[in-house]
């Protein structure tokens, strides 16, 4: 490899490597969002879904929060030896760490204006002891006004199979609403916070941009169940429940997948700020998910006529929510009331996710007109369409050029061949017009749709092509980010987790290696010799003493000796080498908690039980001076 270190080329956008977050595979509720109670507001279609009850438990619907009206009344069971109570076992189970503090909160009142008591406890359902309860406390509830009560519980030992119980003590009835349990130790300690280990893994990627909230959930299986950002802000108690698009369709694996919106747009923007990523929200363009609908004719899945105005207004209001003046705008005022008077400084907005057909471009243009006029500084991202109906994944590019978007969002869930040949996709790409946002991509192995080292290697090869063409590719986000081992609808994914643990896949490490070694400028690189299997790119990092960073990917099965000639570089320089490689001595096991049989390390990946099969190894070495 020959690299001319004196000739720096295109600037690499700080947003180049980022993350795509979608509430799929229990990525939000039951995942990144720290809440441990499923159906905390009794708003699921059957209000007691997720709850076990005993004694006098009655669901009522005239509670204190207009958009979440349900609550339960706990009353005397009518039998002397039967208590009244409710139990919650979490999203896909509930697990608790020994010695950690958990904050229990509940809204409660005594309908008869008296005083009553609740007993709140944590249980170890695997316990062999006489009682399952490992810690508990009493709460005095006073008066007929709704009030929020909070206590902290600390389980003495780690519990894999836990539950939360709330019992009525005595015979005086108590109404309870929004029953919640969070670790006190969330990411950055926010009360309505994120699960710390998962948030830290995201932060460790040092993403330059974060796209949210999806994916197909942006669109919804129906227009009504699209991700409605306006419902995701303000007090959590009053954020209405939504059915996710992933509770639908032929990929349905669960029947209780709803969005509490507890992890809402305020929390997304705050998280972006904390991890240093540019926020990239995606909004519905007025079309429900086309994979879920009969799209041969216009129907209820598409906003027609004036009904599109509501969607356009949502986009305008979002810009105000992020950047507006709280004194002048009602949405900006909510941002300030939620604790962020300063603007979030939104720069990018995507309209529509994976849209196709003749309708998308006109709808997008209807959004662009007012946004361009009112907020000319906002960069607009359109979609290049996916791959249905025998059409290519990028067939909407001409329409996007005509519309004059700033970026085009391309999605690649493709096989190894695509990713290897895709490394040169942008070499001869038009330099004029919209820039590229590779908004969702992951190598889906031929007949091997799971996380595997070889897929990660192909992704790395592809990324050298993104990097070499940094003048045209400005952002790239692998997808999806998260998957719960007991609740996934889609794989491969970047990070797998259960209720206590998480694991970085080899694709995670590829993303991280590129992202933390992003550099600031492309360096020209030429490759000669036995190059079939070798993919490479080089960058200079002007922010770090003009360091030169070379990424080399060997997609073959054998070692290949490589010499790197850094023309113009001082030969006194020191060199760090980081190699992502697999340890052959580790057992292969199964992958991604499916039943697929794996016979080679290339088809295998890290797992929760064996998280270090494939990890980066860094060593310092000397630069050889030419004689």
Interface with ligand AHR by CB under 6 A: which residues? 22, 24, 214-216, 353-354, 440, 479-480, 490
| Helix axis angle, 453-468 to 506-516, nearest 10° | 20
The closest alpha carbon to 460, from 606, 581, 558, belongs to 581
Shortest spacing between CB 364 and ligand AHR, in angstroms:
16
Q: Which two tokens stand for residue 506?
A: 């080899």
Cβ of residue 602: shortest distance to ligand AHR, in angstroms?
24
Return the number of the residue (149 or 291) whose C-beta is nearest ligand AHR.
Answer: 291
528 DSSP 8-state letter: -
Phi, psi of 132 (to 5 degrees): -75, -25
Select 216 or 540, whichever has its Cβ closest to ligand AHR: 216
d(CA 64, CA 70) in angstroms, rounded, equals: 9
Report the alpha-carbon distance of residue 10 to residue 469 in Å, rounded: 8
End-to-end CA distance of the chain: 18
Dmax (CA) for the chain in angstroms is: 95
Residue 227 CB, shortest distance to ligand AHR, in Å, is 11
Q: Cβ distance 583 to 617 under 8 Å?
A: no
Annotation says 43 is catalytic: no
Rank residues 168 and 458 by Cβ distance to ligand AHR and give the closer one: 458
Six token digits for residue 369: 């007109």
For residues 194 and 267, is the Cβ–Cβ distance under 8 A? yes
Please, which residues have CB within 8 angstroms of residue 495's CB and are 6 or more apart in sequence? Answer: 198, 201, 202, 481, 482, 483, 502, 503, 504, 505, 508
CB of 265 to ligand AHR, least distance (A): 18
CB under 8 Å to 595, separation ≥6 — which residues? none
The catalytic position among 43, 243, 354, 467 is 354
What's the per-residue H, E or C state across 141-163? EECCCCEEEEEEECCCCCECCEE
CB 52 within 8 A of CB 84: no
- The residue among 31 and 480 lying less far from ligand AHR, judged by its C-beta, is 480
The order of strands in the sheet holding 495-497 is: 482-484, 495-497, 502-504
CB-based closest residue to ligand AHR: 215
My answer on whether omega of the bond before 202 falls inside 30° of 0, hence cis, is: no
For the CB of residue 353, give the shortest distance to ligand AHR in the complex, in Å.
5
**Residue with smaller CB distance to ligand AHR, 422 or 480:** 480
Count Cβ atoms within 10 A of the Cβ of residue 264 and give its class: 0-12 exposed, 13-18 middle, 19 or more buried: buried
Q: Answer for the pair 276, 62: CB distance below 8 angstroms, yes or no.
A: no
User: How far is the C-alpha of 331 from the C-alpha of 339, rounded, in Å?
Assistant: 13
- The smaller minimum CB distance to ligand AHR, of residues 1 and 456, is found at 456
Give 34 or 386: the residue with its C-beta nearer to ligand AHR. 386
Closest distance to ligand AHR from the beta carbon of 435 (Å): 20
Residue with smaller CB distance to ligand AHR, 219 or 406: 219
Could you give the CA distance from residue 133 to residue 165 in angstroms, rounded to a whole number?
Answer: 9
Q: Provide the minimum distance between the beta carbon of 245 and ligand AHR in the complex, in angstroms, as a whole number.
A: 7
Measured from the CB of residue 150, what is the shortest distance to ligand AHR in angstroms?
Answer: 36
Active site residues: 354
């Amino acid at each position: 490899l020959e690299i001319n270190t004196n000739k720096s080329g295109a600037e690499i956008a700080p947003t180049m490597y980022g993350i795509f977050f979608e509430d799929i595979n229990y990525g939000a509720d039951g995942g990144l969002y720290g809440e441990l109670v499923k159906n905390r507001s009794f708003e699921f279609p059957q209000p007691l879904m997720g709850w076990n009850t005993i004694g006098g438990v009655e669901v009522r619907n005239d509670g204190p929060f207009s958009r979440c009206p349900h609550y339960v009344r706990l009353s005397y069971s009518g039998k002397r030896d039967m208590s009244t109570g409710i139990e919650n076992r979490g999203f896909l189970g509930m697990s608790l760490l020994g010695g950690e503090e958990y904050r229990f909160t509940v809204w409660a009142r005594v309908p008869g204006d008296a005083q009553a008591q609740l007993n709140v406890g944590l249980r170890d359902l695997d316990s062999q002891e006489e009682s399952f309860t490992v810690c508990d406390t009493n709460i005095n509830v006073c008066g007929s006004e709704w009030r929020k009560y909070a206590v902290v519980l600390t389980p003495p030992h780690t519990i894999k199979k836990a539950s939360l119980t709330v019992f009525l003590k005595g015979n005086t009835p108590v109404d309870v609403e929004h029953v919640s349990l969070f670790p006190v130790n969330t990411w950055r300690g926010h009360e309505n916070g994120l699960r710390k280990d998962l948030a830290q893994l995201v932060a460790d990627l040092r993403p330059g941009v974060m796209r949210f909230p999806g994916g197909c959930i942006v669109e919804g299986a129906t227009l009504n169940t699209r991700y409605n950002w306006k419902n995701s802000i303000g007090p959590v108690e009053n954020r209405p429940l939504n059915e996710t698009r992933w509770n639908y369709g032929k990929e349905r694996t669960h029947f209780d997948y709803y969005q509490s919106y507890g992890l809402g747009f305020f929390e997304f923007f705050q998280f972006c700020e904390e991890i240093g990523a540019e926020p990239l929200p995606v909004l519905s363009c007025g079309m429900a998910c086309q994979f879920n609908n009969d799209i041969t004719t216009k129907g209820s899945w598409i906003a027609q006529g004036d009904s599109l105005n509501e969607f356009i207004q949502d986009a305008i209001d979002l810009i105000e929510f992020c950047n507006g003046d709280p004194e002048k705008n009602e949405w900006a005022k909510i941002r300030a009331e939620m604790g962020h008077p300063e603007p979030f400084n939104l720069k990018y907005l995507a309209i529509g996710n994976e849209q196709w057909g003749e309708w998308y471009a006109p709808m997008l243009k209807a959004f662009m007109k007012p946004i361009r006029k009112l907020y000319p500084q906002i960069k607009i991202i359109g979609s290049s369409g996916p791959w249905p109906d025998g059409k290519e994944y990028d067939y909407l590019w001409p329409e996007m050029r005509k519309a004059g978007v700033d970026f085009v969002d391309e999605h690649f869930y493709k096989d190894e061949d695509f990713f290897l040949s895709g490394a040169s996709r942008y070499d001869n790409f038009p330099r004029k017009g919209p820039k590229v946002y590779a908004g969702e991509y992951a190598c889906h192995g031929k007949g091997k749709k799971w996380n595997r080292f070889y897929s990660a290697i192909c992704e790395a090869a592809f990324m050298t092509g993104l990097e070499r063409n940094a003048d045209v590719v400005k952002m790239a986000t692998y997808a999806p980010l998260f998957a719960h081992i007991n609740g996934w609808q889609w794989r491969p994914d970047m990070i797998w987790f259960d209720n206590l643990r998480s694991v970085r896949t080899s694709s995670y490490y590829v993303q991280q290696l590129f992202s933390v070694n992003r550099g600031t400028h492309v360096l020209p690189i030429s490759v000669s010799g036995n190059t079939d299997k070798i993919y490479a790119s080089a960058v200079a990092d002007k922010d770090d003493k003009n360091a030169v960073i070379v990424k080399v990917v060997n997609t073959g099965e054998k070692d290949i000796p490589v010499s790197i000639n850094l023309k113009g570089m001082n030969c006194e320089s020191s060199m760090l080498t980081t190699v992502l490689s697999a340890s052959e001595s580790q057992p292969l096991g199964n992958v991604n908690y499916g039943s697929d049989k794996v016979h080679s390390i290339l088809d295998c990946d890290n797992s929760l039980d064996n998280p270090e099969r494939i990890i980066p190894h860094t060593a310092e070495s000397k630069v050889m001076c030419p004689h």
